[in-house]
């Protein structure tokens, strides 16, 4: 494709020749580090779902199903339950099936208490309705920005570097929100935009969409 779309497509053959599968896979990144410092993993499952289904919806496809896999140094049942519950909640919000939760202990690969969380989602769209419709874009079209819940899952390496340089602690009040600790303020779950974006796409009102993440 001539553009760097995040959701990758695959045309189906036979009786489903008008359907296109759209997939996305993502890892959560260094937001995990802050969650480990704070000891709160409840938002991370929603985050990894959001990364994938927002990519899929941005191509005009309805999310169908989702898989997640967590690799750990040593299994922590409480943390695992928080992660899987978050994934389940995210799939419900996105309107897709949560098909599988994988878990692997990898001693010696991660530092103590370290882990990684990866998600994979698949959606479907009529190939005539795939986004973006670049041929229809003209000067004067409106750009709509949907609000976020915070940083979502992006930029946390920079955030952590700023916090270290400023000598801040995750347990202290957030400089921008004294009603919450800094750790709490940095861990809200990502917003899932699938239903909002698809409602516009199905009404023929949307020519393109972009989840502004990882540099856009």
For residue 94, pLDDT beyond 70: yes
Which segments within 43-91 are labelled E, that is strand?
62-72
- Mean predicted confidence (pLDDT) in 11-24: 75
For residue 4, pLDDT beyond 60: no
3-state SS class at 178: strand
- Mean predicted confidence (pLDDT) in 184-204: 94
Cβ neighbors of 17 (< 8 A, separation 6 or more) are 11
% the chain with pLDDT above 90? 78
Q: 1-5 long-range CB contacts below 8 Å, 24 or more apart?
A: 3/132, 3/134, 5/58, 5/59, 5/132
Radius of gyration of the CA atoms of the chain, in A = 19
H or E segment to which residue 64 belongs: strand 62-72
For residue 214, pLDDT beyond 60: no
% the chain with pLDDT above 70? 90
CA 157 to chain centre: 17
In angstroms, rounded to a whole number, what is the distance separating the alpha carbons of residues 73 and 83? Answer: 15
- Mean predicted confidence (pLDDT) in 55-71: 96
DSSP summary character for residue 98: E
In angstroms, rounded to a whole number, what is the distance separating the alpha carbons of residues 153 and 214? Answer: 9
In angstroms, rounded to a whole number, what is the distance separating the alpha carbons of residues 32 and 216? Answer: 21
pLDDT at 216: 40
Instruction: Grade residue 9 by pLDDT with cuts at 50, 70 and 90.
Output: low
Classify the C-alpha dihedral 42-69-161-6 as positive or negative: negative
């Amino acid at each position: 494709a001539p553009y760097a779309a995040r959701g990758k497509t695959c045309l189906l053959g036979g009786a489903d020749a008008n359907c296109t599968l759209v997939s996305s896979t993502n890892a959560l990144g260094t937001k995990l580090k802050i969650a480990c410092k704070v000891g709160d993993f409840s938002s991370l499952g929603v985050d990894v779902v959001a990364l994938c289904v927002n990519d899929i919806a941005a191509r005009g496809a309805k999310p169908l199903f989702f898989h997640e896999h967590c690799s750990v140094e040593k299994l922590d049942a409480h943390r695992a339950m928080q992660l899987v519950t978050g994934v389940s909640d995210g799939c419900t919000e996105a309107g897709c099936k949560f098909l599988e939760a994988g878990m692997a202990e990898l001693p010696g690969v991660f530092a103590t208490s370290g882990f990684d969380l990866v998600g994979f989602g698949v959606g479907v769209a009529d190939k005539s309705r795939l986004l973006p419709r670049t041929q229809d874009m003209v000067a004067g079209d409106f750009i709509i920005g949907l609000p976020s819940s915070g940083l979502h899952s992006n930029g946390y390496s920079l955030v952590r570097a700023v916090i270290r340089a400023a000598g801040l602690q995750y347990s202290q009040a957030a400089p921008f929100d004294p009603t919450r600790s800094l750790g709490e303020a940095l861990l809200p779950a990502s917003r899932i935009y699938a239903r909002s974006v698809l409602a516009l796409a199905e009404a023929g009102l949307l020519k393109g969409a972009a989840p502004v993440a990882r540099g856009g």
